[in-house]
């Protein structure tokens, strides 16, 4: 029987090296992010400012948060394209459940639940989508990319039914807008940004220092060996889907609170942005390799490209083109650098 070490990613197997392949890629992506920021500062007026650096993170807290769950699943060898739909569904549910009963029209009429119960119901809806993902991927062995595309459309479709294709933003309790707009530490930093930072720190710790994190890498890099060693791979993957759905549910609730509305199109393309930043950060699409910290630097790269394109007054079409070029170049550079390093 293969030993546990055989199933681990290069970071665990190459202990004789000063720097693992994973750490090498993370540093490389971080260096690319710094280099892109300096280039953008030369091209875009007023780009090199401290507040702009802060905005690159704070304006992208939702996608970065989603990227954590997506990264864990990619490392395990699975996709989660449902997160954008879950963001929409959980936000709409939190509004509908919290709206007072007996409104002037259907869009202003809800179930009138206390706000904590509305949040619980919204997260329950998110977990239901996560459970569906786990059921079809784990039990029926349907490819995860197909399952999560289907549940993404299901979640958004339910959100559209509840909002009648529009949005719900009236007849809400006063406390509804508190969580999404609450500032902390006497500064302009909002609670969702702090929660994102806490999630990142916790995810890095889980990834590097816990058995759960090591199993995630092992399941992605050598699923057969993991099963032969007695690991319940199905249960582990199911937990990852529930974890990702919970993050997406919280993001949806916070965005609904920030904008004081439930909108069925909220979170559109967030699932692809979360996938893109993970790939930019060096996460292997085949599983078994990558890191949350790399994903974070990938998010910064995407944010720099988008912000610089906006500063240069480029059309949205060109912004999408620049994103595509950035992803392609980043992945090719990572592949080339690893190949040269491992000669």
Residue 302 CB partners (closer than 8 Å, separation 6+): 60, 273, 276, 277, 280, 323, 326
Q: Where are the domains of the chain?
A: 20-341
- Enter the CATH code of domain 20-341: 1.10.3470
Q: What is the pLDDT along the chain (343 residues), one digit of tens a residue?
A: 344 444 445 444 444 457 888 999 999 999 999 999 999 999 999 899 988 999 999 999 999 999 999 999 999 999 999 999 999 999 999 999 999 998 899 999 999 999 999 999 999 999 999 999 999 999 999 999 999 999 999 999 999 999 999 999 999 999 999 999 999 877 789 999 999 999 999 999 999 999 999 999 999 999 999 999 999 999 999 999 999 999 999 999 999 999 999 999 999 999 999 999 999 999 998 899 999 999 999 999 999 999 998 888 888 778 788 878 877 887 788 888 878 877 7
Q: In degrees rounded to 5, what are phi and psi of residue 168?
A: -110, 125
Q: Full-prediction pTM beyond 0.85?
A: yes
E strand intervals along the chain: 167-168, 262-263
CA distances from 81 to 135, 149, 226, 291 (A): 15, 6, 25, 19
Contact 297, 26 (CB under 8 A): yes
Residue 236 CB partners (closer than 8 Å, separation 6+): 76, 212, 215, 216, 219
Q: What is the DSSP string of 288-333?
A: S---HHHHHHHHHHHHHHHHHHHHTT--HHHHHHHHHHHHHHHHHH
The rounded distance, in Å, linking the Cα atoms of 24 and 9 is: 13
The rounded distance, in Å, linking the Cα atoms of 179 and 167 is: 20
């Amino acid at each position: 029987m293969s030993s546990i070490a055989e199933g681990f990613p290069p970071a665990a197997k190459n202990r004789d090296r000063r720097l693992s392949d994973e750490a090498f890629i993370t540093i490389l992506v971080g260096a690319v992010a710094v280099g892109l920021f300096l280039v953008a500062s030369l091209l875009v007026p007023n780009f090199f400012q401290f507040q702009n650096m802060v905005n690159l993170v704070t304006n992208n807290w939702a996608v970065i948060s989603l990227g954590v769950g997506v990264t864990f699943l990619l490392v395990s060898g699975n996709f989660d394209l449902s997160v954008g739909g879950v963001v929409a569904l959980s936000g709409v549910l939190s509004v509908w459940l919290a709206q007072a009963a007996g409104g002037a029209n259907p869009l202003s009429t809800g179930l009138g639940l206390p706000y904590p119960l509305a949040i619980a119901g919204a997260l329950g809806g998110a977990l239901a989508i996560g459970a569906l993902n786990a059921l079809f991927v784990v039990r029926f062995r349907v490819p995860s990319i197909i399952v999560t595309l289907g549940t993404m459309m299901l979640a958004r479709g339910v959100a559209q039914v509840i909002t009648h294709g529009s949005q719900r933003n009236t007849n809400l309790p006063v406390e509804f807008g508190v969580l999404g707009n609450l500032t902390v530490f006497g500064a302009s930093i909002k609670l969702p940004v702090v929660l994102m930072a806490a999630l990142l720190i916790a995810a890095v710790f889980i990834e590097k220092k816990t058995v759960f994190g090591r199993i995630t890498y092992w399941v992605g890099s050598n699923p057969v060996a993991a099963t032969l060693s007695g690991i319940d791979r199905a249960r582990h993957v199911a937990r990852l889907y529930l974890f990702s759905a919970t993050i997406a549910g919280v993001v949806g609730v916070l965005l609904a609170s920030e904008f004081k509305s439930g909108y069925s199109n909220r979170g559109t393309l967030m699932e692809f942005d979360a996938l893109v930043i993970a790939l930019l950060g060096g996460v292997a699409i085949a599983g078994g390799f990558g890191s949350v910290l790399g994903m974070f630097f990938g998010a910064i790269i995407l944010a720099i490209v988008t912000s610089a394109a906006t500063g240069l007054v480029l059309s949205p079409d060109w912004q999408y083109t620049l994103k595509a070029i950035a992803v392609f170049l980043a992945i090719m550079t990572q592949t080339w650098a690893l190949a040269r390093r491992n000669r």
